[in-house]
Chains A and B, each alone.
Chain A
Amino acid sequence: MAGQFERMDTENGTGGSASPDTFGRSDEEAEETVTMTPRELLTKLHTAWMNERLAPDLLPPQIEEIECMLELLRNMEVNTAKLEKKDIRLGVHKMEVDRIRYLISSYLRIRLAKIQEYCWDLQTKENTRNSQAPSLMSPEEQKFLKEYIENLESHLKNMGTQHMPRTMQALQPQTMSTSSNLDSFLFLRVSQDSSIIVDDADGREEEVSLEAGSQHIIRYRPVAKLVPSGSVDLV
């Protein structure tokens, strides 16, 4: 599904942007982010982007990181504007800015694509969410979802249900709603020792420990909770 938005090759085309060398120069620009250097921030975003791209469901938003990186990008653009046109650093910087912007745009696009695809399911989750639990969407994404569903439903009503016999006029989203396939298989790399409960074919439950550094092919469902926590990364 994400394919509709992501016209990209399957290999990690921006892999280079995670390499810290090309970004190292702007360390001084980010002193206000006390806890994280731009390098760490970029690595974090890169992981978030990979996870979001590979996970079948919507992951918790990394909205602060995105906002922070966008601000860095604006600073970088201001700085590069000061450089002379012939300066060799200009091209390198511009390329880096383009790459990071791609990373962020792609990340947010994948999320929008998921929000659209699973709109009713996400709306239900949002409405039944415990008020203390964090939302799966940023406030802006929630607004997007709300407007999208309104638009969608009003169209379906005007063109369809409104012209149906009166007992059939209710629009029942649950009959059209799709939700993520949590049983799809994925590759993952373990970054922190963890353990999961896996159902085997006979319906028995089995605890499997995941060692840091190991790689697995596994069904998404048992590890779904580990992905947002950063214990495992999808690859």
Chain B
Amino acid sequence: MSGMYGEIALELIKELDRHKGKLPPFQENELRQALDEMQILFEQNQRDVSMNIPGNPEFLAALHLRHAALERNKQCILAYLYTRLKVITDLRWDHGPVIPAEVRANMTEQEVQFFANYNKTLANYMGSLGENHGLDLTQDLKPPKTLMVEIRVLQDYGEFELEDGTSVLLKKDSVHFLPMSQCEALVQQKIVEVVQKQKSLHQK
């Protein structure tokens, strides 16, 4: 370990800042080093306390400095963990209950577990709404402007049954005109995309 106290913990925070709202790989090494540094500082303090002649100002200053470094490391580590969890809860709203593989690769086992628990908590809550009829809050994320929407299928999905009983075959690259409210989940899972109505450049 080199450098000043708290430097590694600061790296963790900088890492968060560099990837605001994203989930970069978990900095397991840095976290471990910051924790190790805490252990070393703590042991040094313990040793000093046991050897200390009461009232020796030199010892006291060192003690205070190390204690400040300890507190700082703790705060940085918790901020690092907590901020990642906030990003992870947002995943549930942006991508649905299944974490995309590329994001999953950057998460630790415990974070995946946290996500699963959050999922359960949210599902319990949503299920309890409307006298236990349930209301899926992860749908209707945008104010409805139109009833129907044109969508293009991005990957083969197969039969998709609509609320009124009819079903459509979602084949890659096919285009359909479907009720907005029923294809939001498909959009979130990147199975279909909404065809943007672009005004022609020549149109006045």
Residues on A lying within 8 angstroms of B by beta carbon are 4-5, 7-9, 13-14, 66-67, 70-71, 74, 85, 91, 94-95, 98-99, 101-102, 104-106, 108-109, 112, 116, 140-141, 143-144, 147-148, 151-152, 155-156, 158-161, 163-165, 167-168, 171, 175-176
Contact = CB atoms under 8 A, between A and B. Distances in A.
A71 B42 CA distance: 60
B147 interface: yes
B82 A176 contact: yes
Nearest to A94: B147
B74 A147 contact: no
B90 A108 contact: no
B78 A176 contact: yes
A150 to B, nearest CB: 8
Contacts of A165: 38-39, 42-43, 70
Nearest to B108: A159
B60 interface: no
Contacts of A176: 78-79, 82
Contacts of A161: 74, 78
| Contact count band on B | 35 or more
B180 interface: yes
Interface string B61-84: 000000000110011011101100
B35 interface: yes
Contact of A91 (B143, B145, B147): B147
Interface string B154-187: 0000000000100000000000000111000000
A112 B138 CA distance: 12
B144 to A, nearest CB: 4
Contacts of B181: 94, 98, 101
Given A155-B110, A156-B78, A176-B82, A140 B129 contact: yes
B142 to A, nearest CB: 6
B173 to A, nearest CB: 27
Given A160-B78, A161-B78, A168-B38, A13 B131 contact: no
A156 B81 contact: yes
Nearest to A97: B181
B73 to A, nearest CB: 8
A105 to B, nearest CB: 4
A147 B38 contact: no
Given A160-B78, A164-B38, A168-B74, A152 B85 contact: yes
B81 A160 contact: yes
B147 A71 contact: no
B133 A147 contact: no
15 contacts: A67-B131, A70-B131, A101-B135, A101-B181, A108-B129, A112-B137, A143-B128, A147-B117, A151-B118, A155-B81, A155-B110, A156-B78, A158-B110, A164-B38, A165-B42
B139 interface: yes
A19 to B, nearest CB: 14
B121 interface: yes
A168 B70 contact: yes
B82 to A, nearest CB: 6
A148 to B, nearest CB: 6
Contacts of B124: 143-144, 147
Contacts of B15: none
A135 B125 CA distance: 17
Contacts of B75: 175
B3 interface: no
Contacts of B93: 4-5
A108 B143 contact: no
Contacts of B193: none
B141 interface: yes
A155 B78 contact: no
B69 to A, nearest CB: 11
B158 to A, nearest CB: 24
